[in-house]
Amino acid sequence: MKFSDYNISQEIKDQLEILGLNKPTDIQYKAIKHILDGEDVMAIAQTGTGKTAAFAIPTINILQKKSKSKYGKGSIRCLVMVPTRELAKQIATVYREIGKKTNVKVFGLFGGVEQEQQIATLNNGIDVLVTTPGRMFDLISQGAIDLSGLKFLILDEADLMLDLGFTKDIKDVMRFIPQKRQTLFFSATISKKIKKLAYDVVRNAIRIQISPKNPVAKTITHIIVDVEMDDKRFFLENIIKENEDQKMIVFARTKVRVERVVAAMERVSIHSEALHGGIEQKDRFAILERFAKGENKVLITTDVACRGIDIPNVEVVVNYDIPDNPENYVHRCGRTGRGKNRGQAISFCSEAEKELVTAIEEYTGDEIDRFDIAKGDYLEILSGSDDGTNNWKKLIDEDNKFNDLDLNW
Ligand code: AMP
C-alpha cells in the first residue's frame, strides 16, 4: 500500500510525494489507520523507524478537516510533549513539512530563549504545539496556553521523559486537558515503569510493537572493537581519516570527555565540533545545523544532547565510550541507518567497559559482532597517528602492552 492509496487529504499526499515519502514504514502502516479511526495508540518503536510521521500524518489530516478551535487565544488542538529542546524543534519541523500545504499551524516551544516572541506566536493561533514540559507550564500559568480544547495528546520518547524525571509533568498536564481526547504514546523501549505511565494516560489503546527482539535497526551494522582507554583517540583519528567524506557522530560519556576528544582531534588536524548540555541553546542549534548541512562532518557529543535527533546521511556512529545505560546503545546506533539508509556503528570497548557490553547484549537479546584486531594492526594504528605528543610513549611501551594487558586499567 502506498500513501496515495490512504484516506488522507490530497494536500498531505502531494506534500509526502514532494518529500519523497511514498510507502509507509512498518510503524506508519500499523499506526496511521488506528489514529485516523480515533483510537488511542501505545507504540514501542525504535528511533529511525519513521515514528514521527506515523503520528504527524494522521493528526494533521484530522486537524485539517476539523473546524478551528472555538476556544480563545492560545488555544491548542494537538499537544506533543517531548523530553528535549532539540526534539521539540525537530518534530515541529517534520509537522510543518508534512502539513505545508494545509492550514494547520505548528509551533515548537522550548526554554532557553525569550518568552515574548513565543507568547506573540501563540496569540496568533496555533494548532499543534510541540514542547518540552518546563516552558509549557510557565506559559500555561501566564495564560498564554489554553489546553481546554485539546483533541490530541502525544507523548514522544516517553522512556527518556521518564529517565529525565518528567513523570510528574506528564501527570500534571492531565489537569489542564479534556478527558475526551485521543492519546498517542510513543516510547523507544518498554519497561514496567513505561507500561504503568502509558496506562495512566491512554484508554483501551491499540498496542503496537516494532522489532521487539533486537532493537538495533536491521539497516545498521554494529561491531565492538577492543581498545584500551588511552588508545581510543588514536583509533578515532584512524577511523575519521579512513572515512574522510563521511558524516560521523561520536559519543563520549561526559561533557568533559567530549571536549577532550575534540581537543585531541584538533591536535591531529581533524576538525570536529562538540555538542553537549553545557553549550548554550542557540549555539547547540547552530552546531546541529552545520552538521546537518555537512559543513562539519564530525560531531562529538553526549547522550542527552543527541537523543532522537534526525540528521540525514550520518554514515558512521562511534561509541567512543560504551554507554552506561543499555537503552542508550540502541539510541546511539539509531543515529545512523535511518529510514531506508544503511549505517555502521563502531564501539570502542576497554577492559573496564566489558560488563557494560554484556548488559547491552542482555538487553537486545543478541550478541554484538566483535572485530578482532591483530596486534600488528593495533600498533600500526597507534604509530600512524599524527599526534606527536604521546605517540613516542606508545611505541616504547608496545611490547609491554601486549604482555601485560592489565597494565593501564
Ligand atoms: P523518525 O523515526 O521519525 O525519526 O524518522 C526517521 C527517518 O525516516 C526520517 O529521516 C524520515 O524522513 C524517514 N522516513 C519517515 N517515513 C518514511 C517513509 N515512509 N519512507 C522513507 N523514509 C521515511
Residue 407 pLDDT > 50: no
Q: Which CATH number fits domain 220-371: 3.55.10.10, 3.10.20.30, 3.40.50.300, 3.20.20.70?
A: 3.40.50.300
Atom of ligand 1 nearest to the CA of 90: 4
* Four-residue CA torsion sign, 94, 98, 99, 100: positive
pLDDT digits (tens, 9 = 90+) for 246-283: 999 999 999 999 999 999 999 999 999 999 989 988 89
Contacts of 45 (CB under 8 A, 6+ apart): 27, 51, 54, 186, 188, 208, 209, 210
pLDDT greater than 90 at residue 218: no
Answer whether 192 contacts ligand 1 (Cβ < 6 A): no
Q: Would you state the pLDDT for residue 405?
A: 40
Beta carbon of 183 within 6 Å of any ligand 1 atom = no
**In CATH, what number does 3-210 get?**
3.40.50.300
47 lines ligand 1 (CB under 6 A): yes
| Closest ligand 1 atom to 52 CA | 3
Residue located nearest, by CA, to atom 6 of ligand 1: 48
From 27-41, 205-219, 297-311, the region with the lowest mean pLDDT: 205-219
- What does the pLDDT read at residue 340? 76
The residue contributing the CA closest to ligand 1 atom 15 is 50
What does the pLDDT read at residue 406?
A: 37
Residue 359: pLDDT band by 50, 70, 90 thresholds?
confident
Higher pLDDT, 362 or 135: 135
Question: Residue with the nearest Cα to atom 5 of ligand 1?
Answer: 50
Average predicted confidence (pLDDT) for the chain: 89
pLDDT tens readout for residues 46-58: 777 899 999 999 9
pLDDT in tens, 86-141: 999 999 999 999 999 999 999 999 998 899 999 999 999 999 999 999 999 999 99
Q: Is 46 in the pocket of ligand 1 (CB under 6 A)?
A: no
Residues 176-203: tens digit of each pLDDT: 999 999 999 999 878 888 999 999 999 9
Using most ligand atoms within 8 A of CB, pick from 25, 60, 335 the residue to mutate for ligand 1: 25
Ligand 1 centroid–CA 17 distance in Å is 13
**Above pLDDT 70, what percent of the chain?**
91
Average pLDDT over residues 384-388: 84
CATH 3.40.50.300 range(s) for the chain read: 3-210, 220-371
How far apart are the CA of 145 and the centre of ligand 1, in A?
30
Q: Give the model's pLDDT for residue 390.
A: 54
Number of other CB atoms surrounding residue 134 within 10 Å: 15
Question: Is the CB–ligand 1 distance for residue 302 below 6 Å?
Answer: no
Q: What pLDDT score was predicted for residue 391? A: 52
C-beta of 232 in contact with ligand 1 (< 6 A): no
Closest of 186, 193, 128 to residue 167, by C-alpha: 193
Q: Is 86 in the pocket of ligand 1 (CB under 6 A)?
A: no
| Nearest Cα residue to atom 7 of ligand 1 | 339
pTM for this predicted structure: 0.66
Ligand 1 neighbourhood includes 75 CB (under 6 angstroms): no
pLDDT at 79 over 80: yes
